[in-house]
Amino acid sequence: MSFNDPIAETLTKIRNAAKAKHRFVDMLLSKARLQVLEILKQQGFIENFLVDRSKHRMRVFLKYRARKPVIQGLKRVSKPSLRKYVSWTNIPKVLNGIGIAILSTSQGVMDGEQARRKKVGGEVWCFVW
């Protein structure tokens, strides 16, 4: 089953798999999901992800430390019904820098720190900590 909001679906699947202590989770392939997963991998929140373009699927491998998931929380900020845009000076810090904000900017999808360094604002997709 697919939702109208692929980012929310991705976050929900990762959250549920982490709570159930699954090693991996499968989901449909989309560009937005791929960009979010790339940022989560760069920031060390997930181990890896594999893309099977022929089946239009992705497999995300979750990361654990001392049997606890690295991802403690995920929150969707901007929704299809209510978009949340910020300038580069107002990009929120998640838990005083422990977590990350993922933004869609005019220069692509990036985390909050990258957007601050490049001085670009955009739509805040989600918070991860």
Q: Do residues 12 and 52 share a domain?
A: yes
Last residue of a domain, one of 46, 69, 92: 69
Task: State the average pLDDT for the chain.
Answer: 96
For residue 89, being part of any structural domain is answered with: yes
Kindly indicate the confidence band of residue 57, based on its pLDDT and cuts at 50, 70 and 90.
very high
What are the CA-CA distances from residue 40 to residues 60, 64, 68, 82, 125 (Å)? 10, 14, 17, 24, 13
Q: Enter the pTM of the model.
A: 0.93
Kindly indicate the confidence band of residue 4, based on its pLDDT and cuts at 50, 70 and 90.
confident
How many angstroms separate the CA atoms of 68 and 18, rounded?
Answer: 8
Q: How many separate domains does the chain show? A: 2
Q: Is the pLDDT of residue 2 over 60?
A: no
Q: What is the mean pLDDT of residues 50-76?
A: 97
- Provide the pairing of β-strand 24-28 with 46-52: unpaired
Q: 100: domain range?
A: 74-128
Q: What is the mean pLDDT of residues 86-104?
A: 96
- Lookup: tokens for 8: 């929310």
Last residue of a domain, one of 18, 39, 69: 69
Q: Do residues 57 and 112 share a domain?
A: no
Q: What is the mean pLDDT of residues 36-50?
A: 97
Kindly indicate the confidence band of residue 1, based on its pLDDT and cuts at 50, 70 and 90.
low
How many angstroms separate the CA atoms of 18 and 59, rounded?
Answer: 14
Res 64: pLDDT: 97
Res 5: pLDDT: 92
Given a contact cutoff of 8 angstroms between Cβ atoms, the answer to whether 126 and 77 are in contact is: yes
Residue 18, burial from CB neighbour count under 10 angstroms (0-12, 13-18, 19+): buried
For residue 1, being part of any structural domain is answered with: no
